[in-house]
Amino acid sequence: MAAKTVKNEKKPGLGKRIKDVFSELKRVSWPSFSKVVKGVGVVLAVVLVFLVIVTGINFGLQALLDLITSLGA
């Protein structure tokens, strides 16, 4: 059996961690506003397409259920 190694390293302080986060954020390649708008447009278009498809399926299944229940009555 292999022995587990225990690390006794301390975490850096809160101030150091916050400073590291801000230094990493400076290196991030942020998208331009036009790319963000185009991305949001694509997401909204896909959501609307799926909304129409799911709503159509819902109405179709409701009509089928109404037909089946009316035949049984």
pLDDT in tens, 22-70: 899 989 898 999 999 999 999 999 999 999 999 999 999 999 999 999 9
DSSP letters, 7-69, are --PPPPPHHHHHHHHHHHHHT--PPPHHHHHHHHHHHHHHHHHHHHHHHHHHHHHHHHHHHHH
Q: Is the pTM of this model over 0.75?
A: no
If you count them, how many residues does the chain have? 73
| Residue corresponding to tokens 């609307």 | 48
